[in-house]
A and B are shown apart, each in its own frame.
Chain A
Amino acid sequence: MAKTLYDKLWENHVVHTEEDGTALLYIDRHLVHEVTSPQAFEGLKLAGRKPWRPDSIVATADHNTPTWNWERGIEDPVSRQQVETLDANIGEYGALVYFPFRDKRQGIVHVIGPEHGATLPGMTVVCGDSHTSTHGAFACLAHGIGTSEVEHVLATQCLLQKKSKTLLIRVEGKVGAGVTAKDIALAIIGRIGTAGGTGYAIEFGGAAIRALSMEGRMTLCNMAIEAGARVGFVAVDQTTIDYLKGRPLAPQGELWDRAVAYWRTLVSDADARFDAVVEFDAARIVPQVTWGTSPEMVSGIDGAVPAPEDFSDPVKREGVARALDYMGLAPRTPIRQIPIDKVFIGSCTNSRIEDLRAAAAVAKGRHVASSVKQALVVPGSGLVRAQAEREGLDRIFIAAGFEWRQPGCSMCLAMNDDRLEPGERCASTSNRNFEGRQGAGGRTHLLSPAMAAAAAIAGHFADVRELS
Chain B
Amino acid sequence: MEKFIRHEGLVVPLDRSNVDTDAIIPKQFLKLIKRSGFGPNLFDEWRYLDHGEPGMDNSRRTPNPNFVLNQARYQGASIFLARANFGCGSSREHAPWALQDFGFRAILAESFADIFFNNCFKIGLLPIVLPKAELDALFGLTEHTPGYRLTVDLPAQCVIRPDGHAITFEVDAFRKESLLNGWDEIGLTLRHAEKIRAFEERRRSEQPWLFAQGLH
Binding site for B on A (CB under 8 A): 15-16, 18-22, 24, 26, 28, 35-36, 38-39, 42-43, 47, 49, 52-53, 55, 63-64, 76, 78-79, 81-82, 85, 96-97, 116, 120, 122-123, 128-130, 132, 144-149, 151-152, 155-158, 160, 162, 194-195, 198-199, 225, 228-230, 248-252, 255-256, 258-259, 262, 294, 315-316, 318-319, 322, 413-415, 432, 434-437, 440
Contact = CB atoms under 8 A, between A and B. Distances in A.
B190 A120 contact: no
B23 A39 contact: no
**9 tightest A-B CB contacts, nearest first:** A251-B209, A148-B122, A146-B119, A146-B93, A20-B173, A38-B33, A147-B93, A144-B91, A22-B174
B142 interface: no
Contacts of A435: 20, 22-23, 45
B66 interface: no
B189 A148 contact: no
Interface centre among A64, A96, A225, A436 (most CB of B within 10 A): A436
A180 to B, nearest CB: 23
Nearest to B92: A36
A144 B33 contact: no
22 contacts: A18-B174, A20-B172, A24-B192, A26-B196, A36-B91, A81-B31, A81-B33, A85-B33, A130-B90, A148-B123, A160-B185, A160-B189, A198-B114, A230-B114, A249-B215, A250-B209, A255-B208, A315-B17, A319-B18, A415-B31, A434-B23, A435-B22
Nearest to B203: A26
B207 interface: yes
A162 B172 contact: yes
B26 A436 contact: yes
A435 B190 CA distance: 41
A145 B114 contact: no
Contacts of A130: 89-91, 115
Interface in B33-68: 33-35, 45, 51, 54-55
Given A148-B119, A158-B189, A415-B27, A294 B18 contact: yes
B207 A259 contact: yes
A151 B23 contact: no
B68 to A, nearest CB: 14
B111 A195 contact: yes
Interface in B78-95: 83-85, 88-94
Interface of B: 15-18, 20, 22-23, 26-28, 30-35, 45, 51, 54-55, 83-85, 88-94, 96, 111, 113-115, 118-119, 122-123, 172-175, 184-186, 189-190, 192-193, 195-196, 199-200, 203, 207-216
Given A145-B118, A251-B208, 7 more contacts: A39-B93, A47-B184, A194-B88, A198-B114, A249-B215, A250-B209, A315-B15
Given A38-B33, A160-B185, A413-B27, A230 B20 contact: no
Contacts of B215: 97, 116, 248-249
B185 A39 contact: no
A155 B190 contact: yes
A316 B17 contact: yes
B186 A49 contact: yes
B192 A15 contact: yes
Given A19-B173, A156-B196, A78 B189 contact: no
Nearest to A315: B17
A225 B91 CA distance: 10
Interface centre among B28, B91, B123, B213 (most CB of A within 10 A): B91
A255 to B, nearest CB: 5
A432 B115 contact: no
Nearest to B175: A22
A67 B26 CA distance: 21
B28 A415 contact: yes
B208 A436 contact: no
A55 B85 contact: no
B212 to A, nearest CB: 5
B114 A156 contact: no
Contact of A24 (B16, B84, B90, B196): B196
Contacts of B93: 36, 39, 128, 146-148
A152 B114 contact: no
Given A15-B199, A151-B186, A198 B113 contact: yes
